């Protein structure tokens, strides 16, 4: 594996940042300073250090699941099937879903063992947008849309941030939010006198649900998708 890729995968920094560390002689391999980022190393046997601190390689896992209804966003449950049960592949024991989708909500769910990325995506200060496809019981009026988009809805005694509404037709829309409150989309629709009949997340940050994935199917993320998530 290339040295810069090894350091990036070990969460030392982005590929650009680790290249700079290497060129500035902060990195050693088996005790020798290395200044070329394209040097290939043995990630199992070589000892890689940054400023004298050994960097351990850990395989990071990133996959997207098209979550089906009836499955809970958890790693273990004695009653319900979990999102990890849907994978059917041998994953590291420390894998977990990033955030939660309600048991009856379908769509995009990121599963990883990268705690740093999970914290970044879920932290309110980073304003990571989530977009949902919403099927509603009642017609969504212009007044309803204004309320959803002007940031006047109060949940849990706090005013939530404005949403973005893209109308498909009277009973269907895309709703984009930045927060992740409990049952947020359903409660927002309830606040304008509507009811969610079907809910599916289609994107989180830069990551969009692969249209080729059937409900319950999953695939690994590409390196480009992972880097885009990290760079927001």
Which residues does the annotation mark as catalytic?
102
Helix (H) or strand (E) holding 208: strand 207-208
Q: Is residue 167 within 8 Å of residue 140, measured between CB atoms?
A: yes
Q: Tell me, what DSSP letter sits at residue 72?
A: B
Quick one: tokens of 162? 């404005």
Helix (H) or strand (E) holding 117: helix 115-122
Interaxial angle between packed helices 115-122 and 223-231, expressed in degrees from 0 to 180 and rounded to the nearest 10: 50
Number of other residues whose CB lies within 10 A of the CB of residue 183: 13
Q: Is residue 140 within 8 Å of residue 146, measured between CB atoms?
A: no
Q: Is residue 104 within 8 Å of residue 162, measured between CB atoms?
A: no
Find the Cα–Cα–Cα–Cα dihedral 135, 137, 143, 148, rounded to 10°. -50
If you search the block for the tokens 């999102």, which residue do you land on? Answer: 83
């Amino acid at each position: 594996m290339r040295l810069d890729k090894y350091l990036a995968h070990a969460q030392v920094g982005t590929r650009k940042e680790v290249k700079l560390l290497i060129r500035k002689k902060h990195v050693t391999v088996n005790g020798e300073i290395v200044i070329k980022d394209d040097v290939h190393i043995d990630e199992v046997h070589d000892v890689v250090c940054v400023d004298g601190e050994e960097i351990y390689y850990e395989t990071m896992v990133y996959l997207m699941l098209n979550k089906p209804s009836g499955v809970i966003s958890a790693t273990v449950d004695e009653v319900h099937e979990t999102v990890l049960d849907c994978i059917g592949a041998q994953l590291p024991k420390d894998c977990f879903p990033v955030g939660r989708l309600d048991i009856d909500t379908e769509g995009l769910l990121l599963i990883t063992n990268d705690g740093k990325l999970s914290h970044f995506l879920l932290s309110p200060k980073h304003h990571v947008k989530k977009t949902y496809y919403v099927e509603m019981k009642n017609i969504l009026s212009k007044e309803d849309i204004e309320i959803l988009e002007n940031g006047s809805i109060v949940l849990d005694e706090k005013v939530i941030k404005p949403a973005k509404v893209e109308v498909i037709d009277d009973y269907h829309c895309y709703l984009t939010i930045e927060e992740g409150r409990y049952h947020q989309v359903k409660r927002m629709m309830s606040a304008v006198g509507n009811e969610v009949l079907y809910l599916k997340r289609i994107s989180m940050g830069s990551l969009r649900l692969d249209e080729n994935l059937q409900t319950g199917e999953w695939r690994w993320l590409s390196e480009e998708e992972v880097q885009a998530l990290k760079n927001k």
